[in-house]
């Protein structure tokens, strides 16, 4: 694929943001609105209104002849939607773009936000991959993070997911939480495996400014685990999950063979994707665009025609994005592709910048690919990427 084709390729992936949560978790800075513990799609006028506007945004896109291959409902908490609301959004996507018969349709769901009727309804609407926001298996940690669910909610929800038999079931866990010990982390990993998912995502906590955690804690200070402990947590996850037959296919993601997330691979391979909804990012015709993060502004933007007014990403940034995202994958980045798209002098330049890390064993060049080693290269990916950013 040359640069021109790259820029003009038609997205076959769509991200849809559902920005509602029962409460705001103390570490979260996502664009969401809090609806309280009692409201959900069936009862909340706010959610109904949002679905209206969201569908209006999608419906403003020109009809496309190449159907979507992946759709991802993220949030927020998409499992606060009623089945009818979800069906309506899917029908709008179908009408504009078409949906491939072998689509991967993912939905983020949180424990305690759905019952058997909802999960059956979501599956009936076409969802074939549930991404389950567990985060931790210790009551005290869930409370400390301001999560709206308990450990018993996790087990009850997992039973419902297994009952409807979806082909793909992913669990999210967070490491580096305040008061989290290595023993707790080991317990969470083992309990997650026990729930028989096909995929596990591991996130290391980042303290974001403007969040409750940002006010309570200083990165590196107690009760947050030390950097040394979080590195041990990363190594422990790698050891336990690969020991349970999960492939460490991306810096933060593990999958049983044949169960990688196709949608997220679109991002890591720096391919085009649509984004719909408040705060959602898209990458279409070479333009990266983030929608307004506040409800009123998002509604006004859709009302005014949902215009994407930004520049096409310049080739130097496309190269950095390709490296930054592609090096997250265990298989790495194709040097042939780099040569083809950006020229052989760029390939040489990259190899020169990475030489010290190749010598150190963090980066490997083999079979025409450039990749980080697991776990060392992954652990020091920030250092490697920082020098690419600085020198390219």
Of positions 6, 40, 73, 76, contacts ligand SF4 by CB under 6 A = 76
- 160 vs 240 by CB, closer to ligand SF4: 160
Q: Which of 25/278 has CB closer to ligand SF4? A: 25
Structure tokens at 145: 């993070």
Q: Is 77 in the site for ligand SF4 (CB under 6 A)?
A: yes
Residue 366 beta carbon to ligand SF4: minimum distance, rounded to whole angstroms: 38
Closer to ligand SF4 at the Cβ: 30 or 289? 30
Candidates 13, 16, 18, 25; binder of ligand SF4 (CB under 6 A) is 25
Q: Which is closer to ligand SF4, CB of 148 or CB of 193?
A: 148
C-beta closer to ligand SF4: residue 18 or 327: 18
Closer by beta carbon to ligand SF4, 29 or else 94: 29
Indicate whether 377 belongs to the interface with ligand SF4 (CB under 6 A): no
32 lines the binding site for ligand SF4 (CB under 6 A):
yes
Rule CB under 6 A: is residue 80 a binding residue for ligand SF4? Answer: no
Q: Report if residue 28 touches ligand SF4, rule: CB under 6 A.
A: yes
Site string for ligand SF4, 119-148 (x = CB under 6 A): --------------x---------------
CB of 351 to ligand SF4, least distance (A): 39
For ligand SF4, the closer of residues 133 and 197 by Cβ is 133
CB 296 to ligand SF4: min, Å = 20
Span from 2-10, 41-49, 73-81, 229-237 in contact with ligand SF4 (CB under 6 A) = 73-81
Would you tell me which residues interact with ligand SF4 (CB under 6 A)? 21, 24-25, 28, 30, 32, 75-77, 110, 133
């Amino acid at each position: 694929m040359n640069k021109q084709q790259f820029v003009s390729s038609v997205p076959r992936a769509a991200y849809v943001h559902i920005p509602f949560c029962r409460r705001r978790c103390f570490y979260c800075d996502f664009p969401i609105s809090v609806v309280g513990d009692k409201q959900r799609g069936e009862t909340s006028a706010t959610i109904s209104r949002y679905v209206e506007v969201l569908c209006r945004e999608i419906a403003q896109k020109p009809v496309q002849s190449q159907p979507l291959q992946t759709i991802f409902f993220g949030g927020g908490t998409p499992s606060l939607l009623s089945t009818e609301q979800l069906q309506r959004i899917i029908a709008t996507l179908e009408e504009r773009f078409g949906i491939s018969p072998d689509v991967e349709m993912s939905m983020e769901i949180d424990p305690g936000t759905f019952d058997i009727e909802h999960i059956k309804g979501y599956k009936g609407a076409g969802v074939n991959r549930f991404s389950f926001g567990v985060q931790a298996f210790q009551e005290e940690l869930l409370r400390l993070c301001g999560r709206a669910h308990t450990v018993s909610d996790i087990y009850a929800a997992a039973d419902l997911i297994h009952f409807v038999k979806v082909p793909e079931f992913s669990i999210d866990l967070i490491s580096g939480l305040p008061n989290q010990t290595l023993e707790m982390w080991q317990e969470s990993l083992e309990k997650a495996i026990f729930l028989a998912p096909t995929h596990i995502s591991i996130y290391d906590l980042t303290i974001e400014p403007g969040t409750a955690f940002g006010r309570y804690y200083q990165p590196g200070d107690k009760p947050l685990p030390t950097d040394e402990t979080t590195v041990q947590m990363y190594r422990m996850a790698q050891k336990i999950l690969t020991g349970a037959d999960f492939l460490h296919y991306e810096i933060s993601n593990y999958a049983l063979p044949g169960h990688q997330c196709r949608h997220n691979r679109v991002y890591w391979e720096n391919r085009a994707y649509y984004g719909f909804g408040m705060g959602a990012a898209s990458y279409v015709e070479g333009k990266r665009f983030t929608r307004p993060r506040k409800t009123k502004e998002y509604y006004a933007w859709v009302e005014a025609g949902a215009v994407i007014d930004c520049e096409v990403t310049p080739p130097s940034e496309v190269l950095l994005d390709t490296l930054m995202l592609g090096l997250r994958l265990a298989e790495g980045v194709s040097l042939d592709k780099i040569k083809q798209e950006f020229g052989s002098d760029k390939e040489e330049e990259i190899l020169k910048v990475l030489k010290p890390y190749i010598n150190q064993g963090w980066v490997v060049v083999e079979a025409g690919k450039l990749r980080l080693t697991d776990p060392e290269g992954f652990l020091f990916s920030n250092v490697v990427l920082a020098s690419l950013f600085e020198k390219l």
